Amino acid sequence: MISEQLPDGARCARHPETSATSLCARCGNFSCVACTVQRENDVYCVPCSRRFFGFVGIGCPPTGPVAIVLGVIDLVSIGRKRAPSDGWKLDAIAIVAGAVGTALWAYIVWLHYFDPSGPPPVFPDSGY
Ligand SMILES: [Zn+2]
Ligand SMILES: [Zn+2]
């Protein structure tokens, strides 16, 4: 199915001497087997795959740590009787959600950039 979309003689964008086997779903560049990364039902070139995960990584952390910091600051205010004491539940939720988000982000980043065993099993393999 992937190779059907390619014109005859298509070459990998990074390896001009190699025949392309797929088309990146994001940038549209041709890529050879070595340059192809499959995620869910789409295939991407290596740079786009890295960029995609970069966005995921950059998009998550601000919400996580910021939520934790704000929650802790408010808890401290409550401890000093400077904020309404019934706000602690919201702070607790913010801290827990922030911790989960941060942990998830760290896990994804670790899988993608530091796992030496290969591409990350973040998305289920579609069986191709
Ligand atoms: Zn691409
Ligand atoms: Zn290539």
Instruction: Identify whether the C-beta of residue 120 lies closer than 8 Å to the C-beta of residue 108.
Output: yes
| Cut 0.75: pTM above it | no
**What's the pLDDT score for residue 121?**
46
Question: From the CA of 105, how far away is ligand 2's center (Å)?
Answer: 29
36 phi/psi in degrees, rounded to 5: -105, 135
Query: What own/partner pairs with CB < 8 Å and gap ≥ 24 does 36-42 have?
Result: 37/119, 38/125, 38/126, 38/128, 39/122, 39/123, 40/123, 40/124, 40/126, 41/126
Question: From the CA of 114, how far away is ligand 2's center (Å)?
Answer: 22
Which residue, 119, 15, 57, 13, is CA-closest to 24? Answer: 13
Domain residue limits, the chain: 1-50, 52-119
pLDDT tens per residue, the chain (128 residues)? 444 568 888 899 889 999 999 998 888 899 999 998 887 778 888 888 877 666 555 555 566 777 788 888 888 888 888 777 777 887 888 888 888 888 887 877 777 666 555 554 444 444 44
Question: From the CA of 59, how far away is ligand 1's center (Å)?
Answer: 20
Instruction: Determine the 3-state secondary structure of 106 from DSSP.
Output: helix
| Rounded CA separation 4/102 (Å) | 41
Closest ligand (CA of 45):
1
Question: From the CA of 47, how far away is ligand 2's center (Å)?
Answer: 11
**What's the pLDDT score for residue 72?**
87
